[in-house]
Amino acid sequence: MAKLRLILLGGFEAFQDRSGPVEFPTRKARALLAWLALNPDRRLARELAGDFLWGDSPQKQANASLSQALYSLRKELTRHGCDAIRGDNTAIFFASEGLDVDAVNFRRLVAAGDPDSLAQAERLWGGEFLEGFPAPTPQFEDWMASERRHLHETAADALSALLALRAGQPECPAFAETARRLTAIDPYHEPACRALMVHYATQGRIGSATEAFDLLRGRLREDLNTTPSEETKGVHARILQRQSATAAGLAGATAVVPGAAKPVAAASRPGSLAPVLRILGAVVLIPIFLAAMAWLQDAAPRLDAVDPATMEHPLPARPSIAVLAFDDLSQGDDTGYLSDAIAEDIITELSRFPELFVIARNSSFHYRDRALNAHEIARELGVRYLLEGSQQKSAHQLRITVQLVDAVGGNDVLAETYDRDLADIFRVQDEIADSVASMLGERLRTIAGEEAKRANPAQLRAFEHWLAGLRYFREFTRAGSDQARRWYESSLEADPDFALGHIGLAWIYINGYRWGWTELDRDDARDQARQEARIALELAPDDYNSHFTMAAVHMQAGERAHAISEFERALKLNPNAGNVMATYAEVLGYSGRFREAVEWLQKAMRLDPYHPEWFYWNLGWAQYSMGDCEAALMTIRKMSRMPPFANRTLAAIFVCLGRLDEARTAIGALMAHEPEYSVAKFRLNFKGKYEDPANLEAWIDDLRIAGLPDSSP
C-alpha cells in the first residue's frame, strides 16, 4: 500500500511520493484527516467525530455529513494507492502502515531523546501545528490550539536539550542554528540568546553578539516589563571586555546554557496568578540538591526527630512537604481568607515540581486548630518537611512569618519574616514558595512571574471576591453554586482579565450542565463553560487550573480524547494535583480504562489523605464498573454523607451483590431528593461520555432492577 505523507507542522499539505500532491474537496475533510492522522491506529468513535466537526447539526445530519466526508477521503486516497482509513459502524481510524505524519514522527524522535533523534526532530520542525489552517468548528479550534501548545512546548524542550548537548562547540554552525530555531519558537529564551552571543563572539562578530543582546533586552522590556538576567548581562559584558578573546577563552560562558531558566511570554499576561517557575536542568539540579540536603542535615535540632518507620504512610523517596494552614492574627470579617489563600498558593507553586511530593490542601488544612505539634503531624501525613506560618494585616501593611521544619532531622531549616505593602501579596507568596523550594533542592527563577503578579487594587479586589466565591462553591449545592456565581461575576467586574474568575464561572456552568443547577438550557450551559474555559486558557496558558477546567468541559461534552489531552497537560504543569487526578480517573473510566482509573484515584488519595469524599464516589464507581463490587461497596460506604446522585452508584453496587432490598432503598433515597429522576434523565446525564455504550447499558440494567423508572412520573 502506498503511503500518504502528511505535513502538519507549518501548515497542511498532503502528497504521495509517486503520484504527487493529494487534494481534498472540503475544509472539514482536511480537518477530519488531520484529526485521524495525529492518532494513528487509535479507534475514534464516529459519534465523537460527528460532534467534533458537525456538532451544530442534528445527530442524523451530522452522521450523514461524516459519512460523506469519509467517502470523499477514501475516494481521493484510493486514487493515490492508499487505502488506510478503516472502521465500522461505531468507530474509525487511520492505519499507521498507510501514513507518514511529520508531527507524529517529531514526537517519536523527541521521546527517543538521543542526540541523533533530537537532531532529526530539529530538521523535521517546520513551524506551528496546522499554522494558518482555518478551524471549521469551535471544537476543532480548541483541539487544534491544545495540540499546537503541546507541540510548541515539545519543540522548545527538544531544542533546549539539543542546545545543551552542543554547548561544547559554540563555534559550530549547528550550535548557532539550534539557538536561532529556539529563539524563533520562544523569543524570550535567554539561554538561546546567550548561545548566539557566544557563537558570534567566537567568530569575531561582536556587533552581531551585541545586536542579539539588544534584541532580547528590547523584547523583555516592551513585552514583559523586565530585563535580561544577570547571567545574560554578564555574558554580554564579558564579550565587550574581551573582544579579542579566543573561542577557548569564551568557553566558560557556554556553561550558562544547559538547563537555565527562562521567562515565558504567556506568564506575563494579566490574570495569571501562578508565577512561571522553571526547573533547572539535571546537570545543575543534582549538585544544588545534594548541597542543600547536606546543609539541612547540619542545622541545629529543634524538636524530637520522627522515625520514618513509625509514620502512618511510607515516606516518599522524593522530598515531601505539607504546607499547613497559616494562622491569621488579623481582625475583621475576612479573617481566614487571606491566610488560606497564601498557604494554598504556596501549595500550588510547590506542586508544580515533579521532584517534590506535596500533600494536598485538604489534608494539610485538616490540622487547623488542632493541638498537634509538627512531630505528630509529620508522622500522620508521612512527610519529612512541614511549612508553618502566620499572617497579620493592618490597614495597608502585611506581615507574614514562615518556618520550614525538617521533622525527620528535628531541625528548623528556614525562618523568615516578610513585611510588605498589602498590594505586594502576590510577590510575597512567590518569595516564600521560592525560598522553600530552593531549600528542598532547587533554585527557581520567577522573572516573568514576579512582574505578572504585581497586584493593582483591581486585581486584589478580584482576588478577594474569588476567595469568597470559592467557599460557597465548595458547599457543592445549588444554593452554594448560585452564591459562588455572584462572587465570581463580581471578581470579573473588578478585573475582567482575572483568570481565576473565568475558571470559577466555567465550573459553575459545568455543574449546571451536569447536575441541572442552572436556569439555562443544558447545552447553553455547556457552551458557556467552554467559553469561560477558553478565556482562562488565553489569560493563563501556563496555569494547570486552566487546562483542568477545559478538560472538564471536554469530558462533559463527551470529547474524551481532548479531555485526556488537557488532563495530561494539567498534570504535567502540576504533577501533585490530587483533584485533577481524581477527575482524570473519571474520563479514563468513560474510555473503558477502569483499572487505570483506580490507580489514579489511589495515587490522589495518597497525596491527599484527607481528600474530599467525592474521591470515594469516583473510586467506588470505577471498582463497580470493573466488577469488583465488594471493594466498591467498602469504598463508597466511607462517605460520611451520601450525595443524592451517589445513590445511583450505590444502588448498582447492591444489585451486583444480589442485595436487591438495599438497592431499592438507595433508589428511594435518590428519588426523595430528585422525584422526577428516571432512566431517560440518566441517559441525558451521560450522553456521549462512554466510548463503549455497553458499559453504560450495564449500569442502566442494574438501575432498572433497583427500581429506577424509565421515564418521569
pLDDT tens-place string over residues 611-657: 888 999 999 999 999 999 999 999 999 988 888 899 999 999 999 99
Task: Work out the number of other CB atoms within 10 angstroms of the CB of residue 314.
Answer: 10
What confidence score (pLDDT) does residue 289 get? Answer: 31
Q: Round the average pLDDT of the chain to a whole number and report it.
A: 79
Q: Confidence band (pLDDT; 50, 70, 90) for 355?
A: low
Contact 381, 363 (CB under 8 A): yes
Q: Confidence band (pLDDT; 50, 70, 90) for 531?
A: very high
Cα 464 to chain centroid, rounded: 24
Contact 215, 192 (CB under 8 A): no
With 60 as the cut, is the pLDDT of residue 450 above it? Answer: no
What confidence score (pLDDT) does residue 655 get? Answer: 95
Closest-CA residue to 498 (of 468, 455, 527): 455
With 80 as the cut, is the pLDDT of residue 427 above it? Answer: no
Mean local confidence (pLDDT), 360-384:
80
With 60 as the cut, is the pLDDT of residue 156 above it? Answer: yes
With 60 as the cut, is the pLDDT of residue 251 above it? Answer: no
Q: Do residues 235 and 343 both lie within one domain? A: no
Q: Is residue 447 part of a domain?
A: no
What confidence score (pLDDT) does residue 338 get? Answer: 67
Q: Confidence band (pLDDT; 50, 70, 90) for 597?
A: very high
What confidence score (pLDDT) does residue 291 get? Answer: 32
Mean local confidence (pLDDT), 174-179:
89
**What cell numbers appear for 696 in the block?**
453504560
Q: Do residues 101 and 227 both lie within one domain? A: no
What confidence score (pLDDT) does residue 506 get? Answer: 96
With 50 as the cut, is the pLDDT of residue 508 above it? Answer: yes
With 80 as the cut, is the pLDDT of residue 116 above it? Answer: yes
Residue 320's DSSP bridge partners are 357
What dihedral do alpha carbons 393, 398, 399, 400 form, nearest 10°?
A: 100
What confidence score (pLDDT) does residue 707 get? Answer: 94
The larger pLDDT score, comparing residue 425 to residue 100, is at 100
pTM confidence score = 0.49
Least confident of 168-172, 432-436, 582-586: 432-436
What confidence score (pLDDT) does residue 18 get? Answer: 72
Q: Do residues 227 and 331 both lie within one domain? A: no
What confidence score (pLDDT) does residue 346 get? Answer: 78
Mean local confidence (pLDDT), 205-217:
86
User: Of 141-150, 347-356, 446-455, which one has max mean pLDDT?
Assistant: 141-150
Q: Is residue 134 part of a domain?
A: yes
With 80 as the cut, is the pLDDT of residue 218 above it? Answer: yes
| Residue 507 to residue 385: CA distance in whole angstroms | 33
Q: Do residues 301 and 418 both lie within one domain? A: yes
Q: Is residue 640 part of a domain?
A: yes
pLDDT tens column, 285-303: 233 233 333 333 433 344 5
Q: Confidence band (pLDDT; 50, 70, 90) for 694?
A: very high
Query: Residue 616 sits in which domain range?
Result: 604-713
The larger pLDDT score, comparing residue 44 to residue 186, is at 186
* Angle, CA 582 vertex, CA 315 and CA 473 arms, to 5°: 115
Q: Is residue 445 part of a domain?
A: no
Least confident of 31-45, 400-414, 415-429: 415-429
- Helix pair angle (544-556, 522-539), 10° resolution: 160
**What cell numbers appear for 256 in the block?**
550558562
Q: Do residues 287 and 428 both lie within one domain? A: yes
Q: Confidence band (pLDDT; 50, 70, 90) for 428?
A: low
Least confident of 106-110, 154-158, 397-401, 507-511: 397-401
The larger pLDDT score, comparing residue 100 to residue 416, is at 100
Segments of 407-446 assigned E as strands: 411-421
What confidence score (pLDDT) does residue 432 get? Answer: 62
Contact 375, 322 (CB under 8 A): no
Mean local confidence (pLDDT), 438-460:
42
With 50 as the cut, is the pLDDT of residue 561 above it? Answer: yes
Q: Do residues 391 and 302 both lie within one domain? A: yes
Q: Is residue 697 part of a domain?
A: yes
Contact 537, 150 (CB under 8 A): no
The larger pLDDT score, comparing residue 167 to residue 657, is at 657
Say which CATH number the domain at 680 has. 1.25.40
Q: Do residues 286 and 422 both lie within one domain? A: yes
Mean local confidence (pLDDT), 207-232:
83
Q: Confidence band (pLDDT; 50, 70, 90) for 250?
A: very low
Q: Do residues 291 and 246 both lie within one domain? A: no
With 70 as the cut, is the pLDDT of residue 371 above it? Answer: no
Say which CATH number the domain at 336 has. 3.40.50
Q: Do residues 294 and 429 both lie within one domain? A: yes
Maximum separation of any 2 CA atoms in the chain, in Å: 90
Q: Is 694 exposed, middle or buried (0-12, 13-18, 19+ CB in 10 A)?
A: exposed
Q: Confidence band (pLDDT; 50, 70, 90) for 501?
A: very high
Q: Is residue 126 part of a domain?
A: yes
With 80 as the cut, is the pLDDT of residue 245 above it? Answer: no
pLDDT tens column, 6-30: 999 999 998 887 767 888 878 888 9
Q: Confidence band (pLDDT; 50, 70, 90) for 422?
A: low
**What cell numbers appear for 268 in the block?**
506575563
Question: Count of domains in the chain?
Answer: 4
What confidence score (pLDDT) does residue 439 get? Answer: 47
Q: Is residue 66 part of a domain?
A: yes
With 60 as the cut, is the pLDDT of residue 34 above it? Answer: yes
Say which CATH number the domain at 106 has. 1.10.10.10
Mean local confidence (pLDDT), 100-127:
90
- 428-459: burial string, b at 16+ Cβ within 10 Å, e else: bbbbbbbbbbebbbbebbbbbbbbbbebeebb
Q: Is residue 154 part of a domain?
A: no
Q: Do residues 248 and 371 both lie within one domain? A: no
Q: Confidence band (pLDDT; 50, 70, 90) for 337?
A: low
Q: Do residues 129 and 8 both lie within one domain? A: yes
pLDDT above 90 as % of the chain: 28
With 60 as the cut, is the pLDDT of residue 416 above it? Answer: yes
Say which CATH number the domain at 183 has. 1.25.40.10
Mean local confidence (pLDDT), 365-383:
80
Q: Do residues 13 and 51 both lie within one domain? A: yes
The larger pLDDT score, comparing residue 403 to residue 530, is at 530
